[in-house]
Amino acid sequence: GAVVSQHPSRVICKSGTSVKIECRSLDFQATTMFWYRQFPKQSLMLMATSNEGSKATYEQGVEKDKFLINHASLTLSTLTVTSAHPEDSSFYICSVPDRVNSNQPQHFGDGTRLSIL
Amino acid sequence: EDKVVQSPLSLVVHEGDTVTLNCSYEVTNFRSLLWYKQEKKAPTFLFMLTSSGIEKKSGRLSSILDKKELSSILNITATQTGDSAIYLCAQGGFTSGTYKYIFGTGTRLKVLA
């Protein structure tokens, strides 16, 4: 079964709306989670590393105030796209690293396809 | 800045062909090189490579790491239409004090019947 649950799977909303995406680790506690963004026909780009109980670590060029990350528990991280605009339309996907299982170094959620009109 | 580059960017072959996908990395704190297959949603894990020169194999897919050349290849033999996907490699390691995975540019493979 799924190890990581990500919701919602699809969001279509108007420009200016804030959108929250949840990423839940179902099978084990996750002190760290990753948030990626993938534009059409491009690769996954790491946006930020979410750290339980502390501030997220953002990659260069990713706006902290635009993409709010909260990791308040060992099983849940949320990404909020604030005041979303059409250029924020993308596929957002989270993952939970697994340092123990060499057969599956990170478990991905199913992703969220965000479309801003 | 760490960079993971894949080639070719896209490839069209016919069923039964053999393909070789390339991944090169330029990282200072390398720990592992991962290969994934992505169809519609989340990437599917294929291989993790940490040691140079040791081939990993799964069915028609195989992969090997060359730490001297800072590169890895993914081979697919006797390709099938179901192999059509984006193939991603990712470097795992510590960057700026955080262990994370940096993905390559991806190779879009299309296998024609």
Instruction: Express each pLDDT in A18-67 by its tens digit.
Output: 999 999 999 888 999 999 999 988 899 999 999 998 899 999 999 999 99
* Structure-token match 């190890």, residue found: A3
* Structure-token match 């991905």, residue found: A108
Per CB-CB distance under 8 Å, the chain B contacts of A95 are 101
Question: What are the residues of chain A with a beta carbon less than 8 Å away from any beta carbon of chain B?
Answer: 32, 34, 36, 41-46, 49, 57, 60, 93, 95, 97, 102-106, 108-111
- Three-state secondary structure call for residue B81: helix
Q: What are phi and psi of B40, to 5 degrees?
A: -105, -35
pLDDT exceeding 70 applies to what percent of chain B? 97
Say whether pLDDT at A114 is over 90. Answer: yes
- Three-state secondary structure call for residue B24: strand
**Of the candidates A87, A2, A75, the residue with the CA atom closest to the CA atom of residue A39:** A87
Give CA angle at A28 (A22, A31), nearest 5°. Answer: 65
Looking at residue B2, what is its pLDDT?
A: 61
pLDDT average, residue stretch B35-41: 93
Other CB atoms within a 10 A radius of the CB of residue B58 amount to 9
Chain A contact present for B40, CB below 8 A: no
Q: Are B72 and B61 in contact (CB under 8 A)?
A: no
Q: Tell me the C-alpha distance between B71 and A18, whole Å.
A: 41
- Residue A66 tokens, joined: 């635009």
Residue of B nearest to A91 (CA): B41
Strand partners, B90: B34, B103
Q: For B47-99, what is each residue's pLDDT tens digit?
A: 999 999 999 999 999 999 999 999 999 999 999 999 999 999 999 988 777 78
DSSP for A75-113, written as a single string: TEEEEEETT--GGG-EEEEEEEE-SS-TT-SEEE---EE
- Residue B75 tokens, joined: 């081979």
Q: For A59-84, what is each residue's pLDDT tens digit?
A: 999 999 999 999 989 999 999 999 99
Q: Tell me the C-alpha distance between B49 and B109, whole Å.
A: 22
* Structure-token match 């991944």, residue found: B23
